[in-house]
């Protein structure tokens, strides 16, 4: 992956995984990482968890627009 950039932060692993799968639909490689302090998660420290979604810098515009539409639709359907 060329120059990965974080494009969005999610509160749950499930939300981050959903976004990763959405991007896979349009052949955009992505991954997410949970914010940690050494080996401790933020939740372990009594804070809200955060999962950062990373993609290649070259895919930012395409991914951001597509992902925003999918997330909005998912929220509206809930």
The domain that holds 44 is classified in CATH as 3.30.70
Is residue 2 scored above 80 in pLDDT? no
Range of the domain at 51: 4-72
Question: Which residue is associated with the tokens 């349009």?
Answer: 26
pTM beyond 0.85: the answer is no
The sign one gets for the Cα dihedral 20, 32, 78, 61 is negative
Q: What is the pLDDT of residues 22-74, one digit of tens each?
A: 999 999 999 999 999 889 989 888 999 999 999 999 999 889 888 888 888 88
The answer to whether position 77 is within a domain reads no
DSSP letter (8 states) at residue 29:
-
Domain count, the chain: 1
């Amino acid at each position: 992956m060329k120059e990965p950039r974080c494009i969005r932060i999610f509160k749950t692993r499930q939300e981050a995984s959903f976004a990763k799968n959405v991007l896979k639909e349009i052949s955009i490689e992505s991954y997410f990482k949970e914010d940690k302090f050494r080996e401790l998660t933020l939740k372990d420290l009594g804070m809200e968890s955060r999962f950062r979604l990373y993609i290649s810098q070259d895919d930012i515009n395409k991914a951001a627009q597509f992902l925003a539409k999918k997330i909005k639709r998912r929220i509206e359907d809930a």
